[in-house]
Structure formats: structure tokens, C-alpha cells
């Protein structure tokens, strides 16, 4: 929770609701302002993140050719697991 040692990072996320109700993240903005486009959503499932400490819909996404996890929490916020302390 905003703790120094936490690797849970909330990010601004642009997402799209399709006409049939699917929610798909399009890009995220890292805290330094850089924008990362999401090339593809590989999988969506409900999952907990032990590492970052949170629960929600886990989007497995491809960003720049790499696989990442982007979580959509029940409090309507998006977070990612950072590699190390940030």
C-alpha cells in the first residue's frame, strides 16, 4: 500500500470495452510517463498475486515481445508486479 518495499505498482491504464462487454487493456503509462502499448492479451483469469499482494483479474499481456501480468483489482485500479523495489 504505497509502501517503499512493495513491488505493487499502480499504473494508469487505457482500456476498451467491446460492444459485447469484454474489457481489454490497450496501453499503460509507467510512473515516469513512458507509455507501453499492449500488443496482445494472451489470457485472462482470476488470480492472486502473492508477490505484489493483491487479487483481481489477471491479464497476461505481451508488451514489447515480453510476457507481463497486469491485474485489474476489485477497487477498479490496475497494477503490475515490479521487478524489484521501486
Partner 1 sequence: MKRTILHSDMNNCYASIELLHRPELRGKPLAVGGDPEARHGIVLAKDQLAKKAGVKTGMALWQAKQVCPDIVFVPPRMDLYLRFSRLAHEIYSDYTDRQEAFGIDESWLDVTESCSLKGSGEKIAEEISRRIKKELGITVSIGVSWNKIFAKLGSDYKKPDAITVINQENYKNIVWPLPVEDLLFVGRATKKKLNKLGIYTIGALAETDSDILKIHLGKVGMILSYFANGNDNTPVCYQDENAPIKSIGNSTTTPRDLTTETDVSIIVWLLAESVSARLREHHFVGNVVEISVRDKDLFSFTRQKKVSLSTNITSEIATYAMELFRANYNWQKPIRSVGVRVSDLQIDTAPVQLSLFSDQERRERYHRMDQTVDIIRKRFGFYSIQRGIMYQDRKLSALNAKEDNIVHPCGYMQRGNLTGVR
| Residues of this chain that bind partner 1 (CB under 8 A) | 1, 3, 5-8, 45-55, 74
Whose Cβ is closer to partner 1: residue 35's or residue 51's? 51
List % helix, strand, coil for the chain (3-state, nearest 5): 0, 60, 40
Do 85 and 4 contact (CB within 8 A), yes or no?
yes
Residue with cell 508488451: 63
Least distance in Å: CB of 22 to partner 1? 19
Quote the CA–CA distance of 50 and 42 in Å, as a whole number. Answer: 21
Quote the CA–CA distance of 63 and 76 in Å, as a whole number. Answer: 22
Least distance in Å: CB of 69 to partner 1? 13
Whose Cβ is closer to partner 1: residue 21's or residue 33's? 21
Least distance in Å: CB of 1 to partner 1? 7
Whose Cβ is closer to partner 1: residue 28's or residue 79's? 79
Amino acid at each position: 500500500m504505497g509502501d517503499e518495499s512493495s513491488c505493487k505498482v499502480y499504473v494508469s491504464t487505457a482500456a476498451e470495452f467491446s460492444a459485447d462487454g469484454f474489457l481489454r487493456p490497450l496501453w499503460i503509462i509507467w510512473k515516469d510517463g513512458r507509455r507501453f502499448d499492449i500488443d496482445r492479451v494472451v489470457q485472462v483469469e482470476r488470480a492472486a498475486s502473492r508477490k505484489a499482494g493483491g487479487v483481481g483479474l489477471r491479464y497476461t499481456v505481451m508488451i514489447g515481445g515480453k510476457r507481463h501480468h497486469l491485474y485489474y483489482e476489485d477497487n477498479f485500479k490496475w497494477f503490475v508486479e515490479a521487478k524489484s523495489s521501486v
